[in-house]
């Protein structure tokens, strides 16, 4: 019983002490919060373009290869939405630079596409949904980060506009995975 008296006395004393002697910690206003990460515009454009192109090409493979209606439905949705997003991004970039925008796959995305191309049947379907989940998680992170920290307001608007579709694709792919 005596062991608990000292801590109890200390806790009571702390509770009764006025906060005026202690240094006050005031939280920063929401507008003062800086993003945890930032993405510069060239990196955003390069990553978004590669991701977009990978998601279209891999989904075209899924339409040709998969027999599962859930996968074909997801692939059709991804192709349609990503083609629109890709065209809009190219249009925005061409308006800024006057040069035609080119999209190339990153080495990572090319390797993933090559791996998908070499697979068939159930192996393909498993790889496809896993890769789509990974690609969309990365894309959601990229677009969310750029939407909050980007320095080109036109592209920030594009990122904010595109983000809900990416989140929908990710949720849809997760549902396909859950059914398997």
Query: Is the residue at 26 inside a domain?
Result: no
What are the tens digits of pLDDT across the range 109-129? 999 999 999 999 999 999 999
| Average pLDDT value over all residues in the chain | 84
What are the tens digits of pLDDT across the range 67-107? 999 999 999 999 999 999 999 999 999 998 877 777 889 99
pLDDT band of 149, cuts 50, 70, 90:
very high
Query: Is the residue at 9 inside a domain?
Result: no
* Residue 117, domain CATH: 1.20.1260.10
Query: Is the residue at 6 inside a domain?
Result: no
Query: Bigger pLDDT: 36 or 148?
Result: 148
Query: Is the residue at 7 inside a domain?
Result: no
- Write out the residue range of the structural domain in which residue 61 sits: 38-98+107-179
Q: What is the number of structural domains in the chain? A: 1
Query: Bigger pLDDT: 83 or 24?
Result: 83
Q: Residue 176 to residues 61, 80, 96, 116, 171: CA-CA distances in angstroms?
A: 17, 18, 39, 18, 9
Query: Is the residue at 52 inside a domain?
Result: yes
């Amino acid at each position: 019983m005596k062991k608990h008296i000292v801590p109890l006395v200390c806790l009571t004393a702390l509770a009764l002490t006025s906060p005026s002697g202690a240094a006050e910690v005031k939280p920063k206003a929401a507008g003062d919060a800086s993003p945890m990460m930032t993405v510069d515009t060239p990196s955003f454009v390069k990553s978004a373009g590669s991701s977009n192109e990978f998601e279209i090409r891999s989904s075209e493979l899924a339409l040709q290869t998969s027999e599962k209606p859930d996968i074909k439905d997801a692939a059709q949705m991804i192709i349609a939405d990503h083609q629109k997003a890709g065209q809009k991004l190219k249009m925005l970039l061409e308006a800024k630079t006057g040069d035609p925008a080119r999209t190339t796959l990153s080495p990572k995305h090319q390797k993933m596409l090559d791996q998908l191309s070499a697979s068939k049947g159930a192996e393909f379907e498993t790889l496809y949904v896993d890769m789509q989940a990974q690609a969309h998680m990365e894309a959601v992170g990229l677009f969310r980060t750029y939407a909050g920290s980007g320095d080109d307001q036109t592209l920030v608007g594009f990122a904010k506009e595109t983000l809900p579709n990416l989140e929908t694709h990710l949720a849809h792919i997760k549902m396909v995975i859950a059914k398997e």
